[in-house]
Structure 1
């Protein structure tokens, strides 16, 4: 079934997105008519389409039919909840099945609600509005919990989560993944010389320079801890990672933050370690972290304000 065109007066990306999954076109069109003025409505007519749409669109809520040919709604729900990328998407079952056992199983699989057909439009609107608001609040709290309070970029928890997800995604697609570990050179001396408030401002500027050097939305810049930062670059080979690292190195030097206590330069600089690997489902990204950390150590041992890189077999 073709997707609806974006509303010219209100971009779909700026509205909550609902995915309607039903093997009957008439049911999908009915739901679309109910919500098309308030939400971006996407459609799927079987389980495989539903999973693909969730991964591509990342809807804010799924209205999921239970009985469909091939993969039924229970299996769709189970798979979505098993995938780290989609498990947080709330699922409302909309089904003609009125057996209590079906409703119980739906909740056990992770659904947030169960509505029976024929659908009462007022009830459906209210349930959808309630669950979208709950998701909005949950997303806000999650975002706050994953942001570093000092620099405003991702924190260590977010880094750990994204690295695991990106590793598995690259493994599925047989793509390389690169990791940069960065350390502000002689930062303890900087703090001792200029004071901690100036040190905090320095870290904020460095963090923003790193973030502005990253162009793709799938890439991640995070504060790893203290004066150490990390960048995750999915689908990026060693050459691409080296290019990005050089951009970051130049951007931070270009800030021209005075650092008279540094032995590497008269301004604030960073040392960067790069590790690149072809992700495999059977491996862990921990080896990538350890390798990038070793390369960072080599960059610091080699005089700082430089890049060292290695590829994993």
Structure 2
């Protein structure tokens, strides 16, 4: 659930009169969607994920229990809270619903104040869970995506690229001589350096879908947006220049008087479904960039043996 957005509620019931009663109880506070059968509800939930679903149990064809099972089986809908709205009052039925993943029960005939209260409660719980999940994917020091977020995103993108035989781009970035920077200036300025470099890298990722993440220590990783093949050299050049424009003094660097970065970059179709081969290649190319003097990118195209050096230059 995005902060400030109107929560989306999907109402599913095979009786239009019941749909109207629920809609009137919630009118004006939510973005309401409706379905009168399970198949239609599943299609709506997949196409436009709701923040909460009010689901009738007894419906012809795809009933509430089976629909809930299918929703829980799909990554896009498995975390959406579902409240059963039903005339069934047997304890065994409630237990079955909770075991299947429902978060609450509302019995028919419904009470509008009860419906509003339950919906508010579970939407607030979802908002808090979403916020905690979002924070769990952010690096606490730099404010950009953390290693967990990268690992999840890379697994998804690499698998899709492998299956569709499409190239995917990844750049591993390391701050040159960062240990010497920390030793000389101290950990406070060192943390500030990491934050400023992270911000510069993130701001240089201008395509929707580009992801900059902290990989560990003074290392960062950038995953290129799906379908944005080519122009890797231009992207790497922007990253090099963005960090140099920070103009952070580094008197203990043998590379130059200011903070700089080295990059290993690869863009091609993964050989493995998890993309591990691309990350290993990018890591080797990062090592090569350091061996050649740092403040540069070693970039590999389709042929991993054909490497070329893109070196950072002074900004006029």
**What's the TM-score bracket when you normalise by the shorter of the two chains?**
0.7 to 0.9
SS at match of 1:239: coil
Count of residues paired in the alignment: 302
Report the equivalent of 2:294: 304
Report the equivalent of 2:222: 231
> Unpaired segments of 5 or more residues in structure 2?
305-316
Does 1:114 pair with 2:105? yes
Report the equivalent of 2:138: 147
CA distance in 2 between partners of 1:52 and 1:245 (Å): 41
| Compared CA separation, residues 292 and 142, structure 1 to 2 (3 A) | same
CA distance in 1 between partners of 2:134 and 2:264 (Å): 28
Does 1:204 pair with 2:195? yes
Report the equivalent of 2:120: 129
CA distance in 1 between partners of 2:157 and 2:144 (Å): 18
Q: Deviations over 1:31-77 (max 9, x none)?
A: 33332322222344555554554455443222233455654443443
Report the equivalent of 1:80: 71
Check conservation: 1:238, 1:311, Cα contact below 8 A. Answer: no
Alignment of 1:58-77 (within 5 A): 58-68=49-59, 71-77=62-68
1:261 aligned residue (227, 252, 258): 252
Report the equivalent of 2:277: 287
What RMSD over aligned residues (CA atoms) do the two structures have, in Å? 3.3
Q: Deviations over 1:95-132 (max 9, x none)?
A: 45555444333322322123334432222111111111
TM-score normalised to the size of structure 1?
0.80
> Unpaired segments of 5 or more residues in structure 1?
1-10
SS at match of 2:282: helix
| Compared CA separation, residues 21 and 183, structure 1 to 2 (3 A) | farther
2:151 aligned residue (157, 160, 182): 160
Higher deviation after alignment, 220-229 or 28-37: 28-37
| Compared CA separation, residues 27 and 149, structure 1 to 2 (3 A) | same
CA distance in 2 between partners of 1:173 and 1:95 (Å): 44
Higher deviation after alignment, 74-83 or 45-54: 45-54
SS at match of 2:32: strand
SS at match of 1:252: helix
TM-score normalised to the size of structure 2?
0.79
CA distance in 2 between partners of 1:62 and 1:75 (Å): 14
CA distance in 2 between partners of 1:85 and 1:279 (Å): 25
Check conservation: 1:81, 1:110, Cα contact below 8 A. Answer: yes
* Cα distance, 1:203 vs structure 2: 0.6
1:271 aligned residue (262, 270, 291): 262
* Cα distance, 1:272 vs structure 2: 1.9
Check conservation: 2:56, 2:84, Cα contact below 8 A. Answer: yes
1:219 aligned residue (197, 210, 216): 210
User: Quick check: which has more Rg, 1 or 2?
Assistant: 2
CA distance in 1 between partners of 2:269 and 2:169 (Å): 9
Report the equivalent of 1:5: none
* Cα distance, 1:299 vs structure 2: 2.4
SS at match of 1:266: coil
| Compared CA separation, residues 222 and 99, structure 1 to 2 (3 A) | same
Structure 1 residue runs of 4+, over 6 Å off?
A: 171-174
| Compared CA separation, residues 117 and 41, structure 1 to 2 (3 A) | same
Check conservation: 2:12, 2:34, Cα contact below 8 A. Answer: yes
